[in-house]
Amino acid sequence: MKPGFWITLFMVQLLCTWTFAFDEAAFIAGTEDESDEDAETETGEESSVVEETVSAETNADGIAISDAISGLQFHGRFEDQFTLMVMKDSANRTQKHLYNYLQLRLDMDADLPGNIVLRSDGVIRLFAGDTSVSMGEIIPPGTAAQATLADPRLAAVLQDDYSFEDRAYLDNAYVKIPVGAFGVTLGKQPLGQGAGYVWNPTDLFTQKEMLDPSYQQEGVISVKLTVPMGRAFMELITAPDNGFHYWTSGGRLQFPLGSFQFSAVGYYARAQFIDMEQSMDAVEAAMIAGASLEDAVVVENHKRLLFGGDMVVDIEGVRLWTEAAYNYLPSKADWLEVEGGLEYFFPFETHFLFEYFYYGRAPVSHGGSYSLNGWVNVLDGNFKMLGRHFVFESIEHPIADYWSLGVSSFQGFSDGSAIVEADLKWDFLQDAQLWLMAATGIGGREDFLTNSFQSWLRLTVFY
């Protein structure tokens, strides 16, 4: 739909709704029950909503509207963020990028007869400023030199830009239908899984933002069957991948055992790999023929079987978890992913979080640099990281009423790189927050976590 439709709908909501309320739930990593997702946003923040009174008017069939829709709720948020990025290009020159994005999110929940629930979340995101980053700022000079030495035609690829583009889309749009004791959910829906905060080895559907892991995740078009089993439950999911050429299918069983909470997962999916270094013959032929260059890039698709699970336990206020997944590929090398962590709220209100991640699929550096294919697959989302061993730590403490200060860091032990992040949050109204964040990379230019300084000032208003 066009942006004008969403803006008009938002203005109507403002005229109808005079009371804004928001209760920010304390974050506990990975403990959300997805069966409650109708009352929670994808960020783990519980939004209070204003239930609208539906008049008893009748429709064309003479059925009372109040009988057809027993509850209609609107909520959402407005977000505006200024971002500064400073990076080094291939000639070691400093490049600065200052841009702004404005985002409007409008969520609608409706309760229909027969305990049917309908949900739709519309999002508009608009960018302004310097929103293009050259590949020469992303790909390290050593990696670029090795690639162009092997094939000089790759130099043209390294001159492309990566740009942030405006979007108007449905973040979620699904219906939940009870079928006896079961529940069926159809449409674009949140499917995030796993116990981890930053990394989730068992999650095939979403990938988190490194500097903001709790940020909203876009839904996935899929069908989900929820099967209650006493205190346990099972979710069976099937979702098309890359149109309808591939499918991801499987399920998750969650069950308690004493003070422990366990999950077991199994999925049939695909593992994708872009081979840019072997694509230049096909790309050159496409250029001569005037065909699509993107379609000429060599993309490998391998059958993938994932088996894994997670475990969570709370011991004297210390939350401990671990999550692991083994990925079996009949036509390519298998890999293992493992993560684990702990979380604790001290009596003096300091929040501490620690997490370790082992990523067996990622390439390791050779001669002090990673391959071009490694960087390309990270940018495309096929690889989560470059390197094998990572650690995340976070400390947050309230420094005054409505103010909190946080410090966190990522370390990549495979190449010795790191990111250090500091942030200041001010909840200046019940339903509004300002967030100032700054993060800088530490390490060599050829390492994974080094070549950037990033800072943003984000205003978020919930309604």
Q: Work out the number of other CB atoms within 10 angstroms of the CB of residue 274.
A: 18
CA atoms of 362 and 383, how far apart (whole Å): 7
CA atoms of 228 and 224, how far apart (whole Å): 13
pLDDT value, residue 57: 45
Three-state DSSP at 33 gives coil
CA atoms of 169 and 188, how far apart (whole Å): 11
CA atoms of 398 and 351, how far apart (whole Å): 9
Indicate the CATH number of 3-462 among 2.40.160.10, 3.60.20.10, 3.40.630.30, 3.40.50.720. 2.40.160.10
Give the position of tokens 């976070």.
394
Residue 186 near residue 174, CB atoms below 8 Å: yes
Q: Work out the number of other CB atoms within 10 angstroms of the CB of residue 401.
A: 6
CA atoms of 171 and 190, how far apart (whole Å): 9
CA atoms of 452 and 86, how far apart (whole Å): 6
Looking at residue 161, its amino acid is D
* Residue 136 in tokens: 């020469």
- pLDDT tens, per residue, the chain with 463 residues: 444 444 334 333 433 333 333 333 333 334 344 434 443 434 334 333 333 333 334 444 444 444 445 578 999 999 999 999 999 988 888 999 999 999 999 999 999 998 999 999 999 999 999 999 988 899 999 999 999 998 998 887 788 888 889 999 999 999 999 999 999 999 999 998 999 999 999 999 998 998 999 998 999 999 999 999 999 999 999 999 877 889 999 999 999 999 999 999 999 999 999 999 889 888 888 888 888 878 889 999 999 999 999 999 999 999 999 999 999 999 999 999 999 999 999 999 999 999 999 999 988 888 889 999 999 999 999 999 999 999 999 999 999 999 999 999 999 999 999 999 999 999 998 899 999 999 999 999 999 999 899 999 999 999 9
For residue 22, the number of C-alpha atoms closer than 13 Å in the C-beta half-sphere is 22
Q: Work out the number of other CB atoms within 10 angstroms of the CB of residue 104.
A: 20
Three-state DSSP at 375 gives helix
Task: Give Cα 303 distance to the centre of its chain.
Answer: 24
